[in-house]
């Protein structure tokens, strides 16, 4: 993600202000002409002119015609640096937020793709192995518990055929209509894709 670049003249204005705060340039001191400042900071005369204009607008310096630039206020130079630092901190935080949001967006897109792939793979498995059983643990508070498979008419109500019941540590295969489903039992069944939803709705 592209970042907003700070203008060169604004960075030079900060460097000059820092020199004032550090007392390298003293209040009342006359700085060299803008062309000399340009050479000092390694920029063009136009960049130096813009930097001085920024500082002059803030009352930090005052251009004096024919004699360079006069330093007016160390305090205002410090205020300018503080304000710039706060602005840079805000921009940095904003950039971090944008980066995080972009990363989350990329992750969500990747997750959607993975879920789609999983769904397609699941459908393929079911098509190749239609008799692979589902497993379901009824809610312990269901009023369908403590009743036999035959009495519950599970196949008639859900389309699911119970092929096994895991009761505690005992696996009961082909339980038959008289097997009772108890709390904590795992019910294994085969059926259409909607059978799991039907079983959940039935027992809940």
pLDDT tens per residue, range 86-133: 887 787 788 888 888 888 888 888 888 888 877 776 666 555 455 678
- Tally of structural domains, the chain: 2
Q: Are residues 6 and 85 in the same domain?
A: yes
187 phi, psi to nearest 5 deg: -100, 125
> In sequence order, what DSSP letters do the residues of 24-73 get, joined into one string?
SS-TTPEEPPHHHHHHHHT--HHHHHHHHHHHHHTTSEEEETTTEEEE--
Q: Is residue 2 over pLDDT 50?
A: no
- Confidence check: pLDDT of 186 > 90: yes
- Cα gap 75→185, rounded to integer Å: 78
Could you report the per-residue pLDDT of 46-89, keeping only the tens digit for each? Answer: 898 899 999 999 999 998 877 788 999 999 999 999 988 888 77
- One domain, residues 20 and 80: yes
Please tell me whether residues 120 and 49 are part of one structural domain: yes
176: left (phi over 0), alpha (psi -120 to 50) or beta: left
Q: Which of 80, 101, 129 is the last residue of a domain?
A: 129
Report the chain's mean pLDDT, rounded to a whole number: 86
Q: The whole model's pTM is what? A: 0.43
Residues 98 and 182 grouped into a single domain: no
Closest among 78, 198, 52 to 138, alpha carbons compared: 198
CATH code for position 143: 3.30.70.1450
CATH number at residue 107: 1.10.10.10
Could you tell me the residue range of the domain that residue 69 belongs to?
A: 1-129
Q: CA 4, CA 60: separation in Å to the nearest integer?
A: 26
Q: What is the mean pLDDT of residues 156-167?
A: 92
Q: What is the pLDDT of residue 145?
A: 94
């Amino acid at each position: 993600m592209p970042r907003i670049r700070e203008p060169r003249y604004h960075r030079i204005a900060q460097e000059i202000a820092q020199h004032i705060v550090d007392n390298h340039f003293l209040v009342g001191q006359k700085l060299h002409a803008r062309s000399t400042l340009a050479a000092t900071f390694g920029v063009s005369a136009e960049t130096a002119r813009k930097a001085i204009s920024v500082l002059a607008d803030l009352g930090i310096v005052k251009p004096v015609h024919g004699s360079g630039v006069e330093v007016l206020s160390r305090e205002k130079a410090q205020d300018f640096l503080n304000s710039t630092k706060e602005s840079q901190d805000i921009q940095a935080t904003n950039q971090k937020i944008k980066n995080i949001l972009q990363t989350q967006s990329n992750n969500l897109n990747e997750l959607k793709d993975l879920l789609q792939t999983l769904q397609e793979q699941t459908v393929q498995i079911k098509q190749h192995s239609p008799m692979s059983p589902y497993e379901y643990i009824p809610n312990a508070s269901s009023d369908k518990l403590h009743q036999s498979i035959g009495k519950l008419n599970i196949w008639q109500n859900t389309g699911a055929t119970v092929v096994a019941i895991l009761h505690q540590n005992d696996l009961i295969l082909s339980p038959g209509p008289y097997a009772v489903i108890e709390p904590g039992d795992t019910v294994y069944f085969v059926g259409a894709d909607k059978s799991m939803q039907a079983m959940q709705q039935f027992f809940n």
